[in-house]
């Protein structure tokens, strides 16, 4: 089990105000403050609140989700009308659903949307009629290799209706007449997404994006939503060098719409991460940006390397989450994706087994910690210039070159100072210096801090 770092807990000076289903139902919030638990437990609790909503790329479930997020962070909710052009795409009609079921000939509901929103093919058009078993089967989706699990299926861009059921239930179906009912609507409305901008010292931005279009599925991607929310909460309390932009968007069409609206502003994005799949205790996985050698690629690699946790790093491929859009050749943004076990590489992926039991507080907390470590290194990884570049400065005079003291730690401190002075010629970041010197980023970073204090370095 992962250790919850006490240092990390201390970073969160203000206690988080956890939202709950009760809040949504307008019930009174319990008056007595109780122990909020670890950050992992808090994220898991938040996830439990969000779990029931029937999210999709449009519709009420997404709005409900964003409204819960507003309890944690000052999110702006943007609504883009159906029919708006976004590059080669068009914002689709809004989909909403009230109820859905299959009744057998005796009028018994054998499949009920109220039990699991995965039962309905996401974006199903409305239907209400009698069907034979044969016709019904053409609209059923199952998972024979996991006969107890309900698969998750969508049909966003082709009008269709369908039900997803466990293979065991499927096998029980008799030759009779069924009543199928999907009480959904598909009409002009909006595509909604959430955005939070946290102003820093500079207008250079770090983009954190996560997809919000999946219904009752926890690892993919309530885990991404919760970790990202908590990360934003933490950044809101820090004084940051970079400005941070968090976007909570429907996959593909959401990212495309957002890029289309923000085309003129994306040049401010200096680093970015697509956050997803962060609740499962698998090893970390980083997929590099299309450029493959950007600062965020190098920083994530350094953070994973020093974390002591197992991880994989892979080159960019044009398949995956919304890094596909951010890294499309016309943008080619420095955006990678930091997840744990990648999509499709664990059996519970896109099934009812990706539930609240599948994700753990400890995994969520470790993921949050990893993201915060990446951000801390990005914040610290500046480029400085030695303003006394000809010969070494007289360090002894400044108390930086101790005339006594011969222990290893002391020597390391001095060597770090010499490396920083030697390589701060405006071309090397502190991470570059850490790599070339073979010294830890922390040592190099502390040396730079000391030299800035002594006015021997200035930031480029």
Q: What whole-number distance in Å separates Cα of residue 3 and Cα of residue 365?
A: 9
Q: SS3 of 196, please? A: strand
CB of 83 to a copy of itself, least distance (A): 14
Residue 459, H or E segment = strand 457-459
In the complex, minimum distance from the CB of residue 175 to a copy of itself, in angstroms, rounded to a whole number: 26
Q: How many residues does the chain have?
A: 460
Characterise 368 by phi-psi region: left (phi > 0), alpha (psi -120 to 50), beta (else): alpha
Contact (CB, 8 A) for 154 and 121: yes
- Output the smallest distance, CB 431 to a copy of itself, in A: 18
Output 32 or 391, the one with its CB closest to a copy of itself: 391
Instruction: Closer to a copy of itself by CB, 240 or 386: give it.
Output: 386
Closest approach of Cβ 26 to a copy of itself, in Å? 39
Q: Which residues make up the interface to a copy of itself (CB under 8 A)?
A: 86-89, 155, 157-158, 252, 255-256, 259-260, 263, 290, 317-319, 324-325, 327-332, 386, 388-394, 396-397, 403, 415, 418-419, 421-425, 437
Closest CB 337 distance from a copy of itself, rounded Å: 15
**Nearer Cβ to a copy of itself, position 52 or 389?**
389
Which of helix, strand or coil describes residue 59?
A: coil
Classify each residue of 201-215 as buried b or exposed e, where b means 16 or more C-beta atoms within 10 Å of its C-beta: eeeebbbbbbbbbbb
Strands 94-103 and 177-187: antiparallel
Cβ 356 to a copy of itself, closest distance in Å?
Answer: 29
CB of 397 to a copy of itself, least distance (A): 8
Residue number, 200 or 393, with CB nearest to a copy of itself: 393
Nearer to a copy of itself, 259 or 375 (CB): 259
Cα 441 from Cα 450, distance rounded (Å)? 14
The DSSP 8-state label assigned to residue 222 in this structure reads I
In the bound state with a copy of itself, the residue whose beta carbon lies nearer, of 74 and 347, is 347
Q: Which is nearer to a copy of itself, 7 or 391 (CB)?
A: 391
Q: Give the integer Cα–Cα distance in Å for 246 and 210.
A: 8
Question: Where do the H-state alpha helices sit in 76-191?
Answer: 133-137, 167-171
Q: How far apart are CA 161 and CA 97, in angstroms?
A: 12
Contact 316, 327 (CB under 8 A): yes
Decide the pairing of beta strands 383-386 and 425-429: antiparallel
Closer to a copy of itself by Cβ: residue 21 or 418: 418
Shortest Å distance, C-beta 269 to a copy of itself: 14
DSSP helix/strand/coil, 258: helix
């Amino acid at each position: 089990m992962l250790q919850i770092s006490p240092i990390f807990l201390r970073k969160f000076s203000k206690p988080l105000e956890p939202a709950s289903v009760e809040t949504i139902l307008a019930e009174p919030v319990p008056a007595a403050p109780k122990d909020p638990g670890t950050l992992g437990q808090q994220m898991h609790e938040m996830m439990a609140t969000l779990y029931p909503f029937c999210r999709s790329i449009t519709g009420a479930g997404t709005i409900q989700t964003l409204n819960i997020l507003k309890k944690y962070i000052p999110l702006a909710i943007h609504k883009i009308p159906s029919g708006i052009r976004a590059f080669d795409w068009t914002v689709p009609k809004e989909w909403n659903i009230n109820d859905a079921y299959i009744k057998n000939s005796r009028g018994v509901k054998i499949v009920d949307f109220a039990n699991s929103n995965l039962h309905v093919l996401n974006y199903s058009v409305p239907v209400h009629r009698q069907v034979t078993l044969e016709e019904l089967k053409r609209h059923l989706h199952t998972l024979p290799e996991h006969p107890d699990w309900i698969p998750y299926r969508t049909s966003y861009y082709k009008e269709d209706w369908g039900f997803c059921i466990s293979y065991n239930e499927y096998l029980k179906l008799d030759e009779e007449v069924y009543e199928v009912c999907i009480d959904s609507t598909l009409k002009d409305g909006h595509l909604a997404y959430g955005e939070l901008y946290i102003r820093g010292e500079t207008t250079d931005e770090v983009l954190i994006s996560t997809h919000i279009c999946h219904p009752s599925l926890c690892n993919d991607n309530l885990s991404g939503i919760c970790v990202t929310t908590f990360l934003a909460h933490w950044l809101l309390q820090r004084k940051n060098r970079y400005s941070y932009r968090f976007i909570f968007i429907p996959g593909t069409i959401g990212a495309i719409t957002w890029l289309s609206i923000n085309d003129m502003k994306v040049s401010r994005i200096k680093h970015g991460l697509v956050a997803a799949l962060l609740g499962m205790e698998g090893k970390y996985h980083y997929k590099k940006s299309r450029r493959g050698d950007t600062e965020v690629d190098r920083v994530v690699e350094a953070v994973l390397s020093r974390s002591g946790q197992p991880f994989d790093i892979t080159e960019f491929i044009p398949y995956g989450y919304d890094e596909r859009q951010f890294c499309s050749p016309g943008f080619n943004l420095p955006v990678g994706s930091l997840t744990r076990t990648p999509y499709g590489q664990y059996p519970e992926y896109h099934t009812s087994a990706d539930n609240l039991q599948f994700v753990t507080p400890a995994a969520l907390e470790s993921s949050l910690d990893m993201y915060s470590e990446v951000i801390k290194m990005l914040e610290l990884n500046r480029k400085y210039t030695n303003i006394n570049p000809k010969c070494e400065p007289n360090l002894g005079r400044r108390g930086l070159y101790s005339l006594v003291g011969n222990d290893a730690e002391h020597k390391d401190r001095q060597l770090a100072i010499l490396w920083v002075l030697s390589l701060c010629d405006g071309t090397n970041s502190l991470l570059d210096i850490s790599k070339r010197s073979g010294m830890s980023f922390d040592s190099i970073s502390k040396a730079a801090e000391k030299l800035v204090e002594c006015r021997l370095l200035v930031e480029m």
